[in-house]
Structure 1
Amino acid sequence: MTSEHIQQTVRARVRENPSIMPRSLAEELGVSEAEIIRSLPENMRVEAPAEHFEAIWGEMCGWEKVTFIAVNPGIIVEVPCRLPKGRFGHGMFNLMDKDSPLGGHVFAHKVAQVWLVSKPFFGLESHSVQFFDAEGGILFSVYAGRDESRHVLDSVRVGFNSLRARYEAPAGGAQ
């Protein structure tokens, strides 16, 4: 299946069902989840350089609330929180806030692709920053936080859009 065919298929499926999960499409089409994100309509995704990981993480630390999501074959872990600050040491990006429910160590050297994605989720506005490895496998995602009525928090939307604008191609530019 060519990249063009994948793109056409993904875009048609997203038009039919805007809430379709990239993971489901990846499994169905036999491609990586990153390839699905890359195939979304341009208004739904912007790629940021993987080497900007630390700056992107730092920017997200200022957001009022996010949901950190990590998936492996046995579990999907969702942690609603304010992202903890981190710093590099001992070959990892170490999460440093002992008061945060999110702790641990990120193997940031494995981040090869970063996508800022704005795609509806079950009829709701949704924004995320998704981190992929060199094979296009998802490492983890950070979703814009929501209020009690499940709407994206205004302050987080502003922060996400500011981050996204930093990496968008200029009007008329190729992407």
Structure 2
Amino acid sequence: MEALIRQDLAARPDGVLETIAETRGVPLQQVLDCLGQEAAERAPGKLFERIWEDLTTWGDITFVVHTRDGVFECKGRVPPGTSGRGYFNIHGDSPIGGHLRIDRCRAIYFVDRPFFGKRSCSVQFVNEEGGVMFKIFVGRNEDRTLKEDQLVRFEALRAGCLEREQGLGSSA
């Protein structure tokens, strides 16, 4: 199956990953794992709260939930959250809000790949079944370029999470 997924990715390197997953009948995580390290790097789900806290400092991003039935997009700041009663409860005046079961977050992917001809960077939270819970995209300027300050934060967070997981970073 990996060979078929890689073939699909080669044919449409900037296409919709969910389309490949649906066509091949696999969870999206399986497609993410076929992207290669240059396009997708994985951190463990146990880093959820650390990653979320960092995301609260980025400014306006695009929050996406993509299911077979549609794509929900919301622009705004990532609000702070706290754990309680089995959920990670998102607080604040952002349009992004709700209650997440972060105990079901198996992995977090830092994805940097073209999407319809433009560079796209996102942090994708994957559940126990290998489906993506939601995605947070680096914001864009009016000319559709990525916001440079967020791109720097994305790259630093990715590097920090990977170093931490490999035992190279501090425990902070």
Q: Is the CA contact (8 Å cut-off) linking 1:116 and 1:127 kept in structure 2?
A: yes
What RMSD in Å do the two structures reach over aligned CA positions? 1.5
Are residues 1:114 and 2:99 paired? no
CA offset digits 1:51-95 (Å, max 9, x no partner): 010000011111122110113343321011111111111111111
- Structure 2 CA distance, aligned partners of 1:124 and 1:146? 11
- Greater share of residues in strand: 2
Shift of 1:10: 2.9
Following superposition of structure 1 onto structure 2, how do residues 69-148 of structure 1 map, counting pairs within 5 Å?
69-97=64-92, 99-148=93-142
Give, as a single letter, the amino acid of the residue that structure 2 aligns with 1:160.
F
2:148 alignment partner in structure 1: 154
- Structure 2 CA distance, aligned partners of 1:110 and 1:85? 19
TM-score, length basis structure 1: 0.87
Runs of 4+ off more than 6 Å: none
- Structure 2 CA distance, aligned partners of 1:26 and 1:72? 11
Q: Is the CA contact (8 Å cut-off) linking 2:5 and 2:24 kept in structure 1?
A: no
- Structure 2 CA distance, aligned partners of 1:46 and 1:167? 10
1:172 alignment partner in structure 2: none
Identity of aligned residues (%): 33
Helix, strand or coil: the match of 1:42? coil
Shift of 1:33: 0.4
- 5+ residue gaps in structure 2? 164-172
- Structure 2 CA distance, aligned partners of 1:73 and 1:44? 23
- Structure 2 CA distance, aligned partners of 1:21 and 1:72? 12
- 5+ residue gaps in structure 1? 170-175
- Structure 1 CA distance, aligned partners of 2:97 and 2:59? 17
Helix, strand or coil: the match of 1:105? strand
Corresponding residue pairs, total: 163
TM-score, length basis structure 2: 0.89
